[in-house]
Every structure is written in C-alpha cells, then in structure tokens.
Homo-oligomer: A and B are copies of this chain.
Amino acid sequence: MIDFRIIAEDQETGARAGELVTPHGVIETPVFMPVGTQATVKTLAPSDLIELDARIILSNAYHLFLRPGADVVREAGGLHGFMGWDRAILTDSGGFQIFSLGHMNRVKEDGLEFKSHLDGLTFFMTPEDNMKLQRDLGADIIMAFDECVAYPATHEQAKVSTELTLRWAERCRRAWSADPREQLLFGIVQGATYADLRDSCARALVEMDFPGYAIGGLAVGEPKPVMREMIDATISLLPRERPRYFMGQGFPEDIVGSVAQGVDMFDCVMPTRNARKGSLFTSRGRLVVKNAKYARDDRPIDPDCDCYACRNFSRRYIRHLFRSDEALGPRLASIHSLAFYLNTMREMRAAIIDGRFVAWRREFHEKYDAGWGETETAETGDA
C-alpha cells in the first residue's frame, strides 16, 4: 500500500532522494510543503503554487474543524475539491495547534478538551474523532493525533505525554485501518529533548507499522545541537523504506542539515509568514525589502532566482508595495521565498542523485552564509 521508493542515497551523509506515490501525484523527496492552514497558502492561488511546482501542500485539521467545519469541506469533495487543488495534501491532526493556539486545554485519557481560539466554544476530541475529521478532509497524508508538551519539559512530564501519545497513536492506527481509504497515516515520534523517550517512542511506533513517520516536538526553542541529537536518536530507529517527516522545521540551513541526517519531508510557516512582513529568504541569506537602502535598487530580490517576482519586479517596486500596504507586496514576497525553498529542495535532490550532496551543501553555505549584509530585525525572528 505505501509506495515510497528510494532513488539514491548519499555515501557520506544520511541524505536520500525518494519518490512517494499519492493519489494526487508523485512527490519527489526531499520535499518542502508550503503551509495552507485555512485551505489556502496565504496570499497565493493554486495557479501560483503550480507555477512554483509545489507538489504537496499542508493544511490544518484543527483550523478547518473550527471553520468552515468538516462537513462543509467533505461535501465539496474534500480539501482537493474545496480549494481547487488537485495535487497532494497533508493534513496535520491539530495536536500542535490545539496546544499553541487553544487555551484551557484539558488532556484526558480519552481525548482532548479545548476551547476554540476563534470564539471560545469548548470541544472534546478523541483520536477516533480526529481520524474521522481527517478522513472527511480527505488529504493524501494524515497525521496521528498527538499531545505536544511545551519546551522545556521535565523528563517526567515528557514521559507521561509520550506514553499518552503512543496510546493515542495505537487508537489512530486502529481507526484508520478499520476504514481504509487512499490515505497514508503517519505516526509522530515525541519525547521532547530526551533521547531515551525518543528511542522508546520510535520503537513502539515502528512496531505498530505506520506508512510514514514524523518527528514532532522539535524546532520549538531547544538548542540546535539538542535538536540534531534528537533527530539522530530517532532516525536510526526508523525503517529505511518509509518516508520521514520533520514537522515545522523552518530555517533553510536547518532543513539542509536535517536532509543530511536522513529526513525526507518538511513544512513550516516561516517562509510565507516572514515574507508577508517583508523579510525574504534568498540564496544569499535574509533580505528585508522594506529597508530604506532598497528604495532605488533596481535588482530583483534574488538575482539567482527565476520566480515570477524575481523575473518581473525590482526591490524598488516591492519596497514601495510594502510601504503602501499593497497586497501585491506580501504576495510577491511569498512567491519568492517559497521559490527559494522549493528550488533548494530540488537542488539538494539533484545533488544527492548525482552523488555531490556534500559539495552542494558547501556551495550552498558559502553563498547563503555570506548574505546581503542584512541586519536581522526583531520582526523577522518569529517562527
């Protein structure tokens, strides 16, 4: 049922290039999934995403559950029909969103009680409810319903949470296989920053046999060496022939590092969220296009980029759009930043296949780390 092929593996690192077959097309890995939380990648139309050649996007079950509601999406033929997107979709279960956006959440053995961040209404959701929700939304890949502990957490907090997540994963697995559809269910490895918990969680999930595995609960504020250590502790236990997804990792340089460790799939709001504020990712690092120094700069955002924004518009013009609060500014910035992410993934894939990943990575860093000499601003620091 799971159709994931490894095309090439790097000899010097854990990096690998693969193909994941879904009902809505083949996804070439490593892959970055643009985030469309509310069934739209903010500021972009599906036609923009097709021009960027995005093969898969991510949407959020939690947000869609609250608005417009699962039935409104299901009746439209699921997310694909609803939002006019006929390529692949992954839905996040909502565990992370409930913890980061909800308030007065109460974790019970049977499920999660939470209040909507929109209107304060209280809901209770079991793992089985969540599987039904994600079935109604109809994404190609769905995620187990998990509990996420905040960073930092004590070992005891993390242990209790990880054990609950495992019991919920078992229930998700059972509900999913009881009503088989053309959807791949991914298990999520939790365990905070504790290698022993990551280890036991990964082993237990592999025992349950999921079509794919995610690494959750990282890139939430922990030091990068700890993050790297946790990835290593997890990856080594996951089966080679299944896709591996690092949830929410955002900085390009971190994604490159995780690919080297053997991760196949990524998502993050960072490229689009920062772009909407005028902070762009480029082949030479960050560029804050609103800065006064770009007022008369006729170069494109990134001279090495061939996206619609870089082919047609200057920094001079895009800065004007941001200063004038014009919607085209965030849109062009989002197009560019996603193009940079997606192109970087495609370059990495080609390098892995050609056996020159390490050389590619060195070249990437030489250029990216040198940067435009841009000063980081406070507003660009959020994830």
Contacts and interface: CB of A to CB of B under 8 A. Distances in A.
Nearest to A313: B84
A308 interface: yes
Contact of A316 (B72, B317, B321, B332): B72
A317 B38 contact: no
Interface in A144-168: none
A66 to B, nearest CB: 10
Contacts of A332: 45
Given A43-B327, A68-B320, A327-B330, 9 more contacts: A39-B320, A40-B326, A42-B328, A43-B328, A45-B308, A45-B331, A68-B316, A68-B323, A331-B331
A76 B316 contact: yes
Contacts of A84: 312-313, 317
Contacts of A72: 295-296, 316, 320
Interface residues of A, number: 37
A328 B47 CA distance: 12
A63 to B, nearest CB: 8
A210 to B, nearest CB: 31
Nearest to A64: B320
A75 interface: yes
A42 B323 contact: no
A298 interface: yes
A307 to B, nearest CB: 12
Contacts of A331: 45, 327, 331
Nearest to A84: B312
A321 B83 CA distance: 10
Contacts of A14: none
23 contacts: A38-B320, A38-B326, A40-B326, A40-B328, A43-B327, A45-B332, A47-B308, A68-B316, A68-B319, A68-B320, A68-B323, A72-B295, A72-B296, A72-B320, A75-B296, A76-B316, A76-B317, A82-B316, A83-B317, A84-B312, A84-B317, A327-B327, A327-B330
Contacts of A319: 68
Contacts of A38: 320, 324, 326
Contacts of A316: 68, 72, 76, 82
A292 to B, nearest CB: 11
A91 to B, nearest CB: 16
A279 interface: no
A68 B315 CA distance: 13
A67 interface: yes
A296 to B, nearest CB: 6
A44 interface: yes
A282 interface: no
Interface in A316-365: 316-317, 319-321, 323-324, 326-328, 330-332
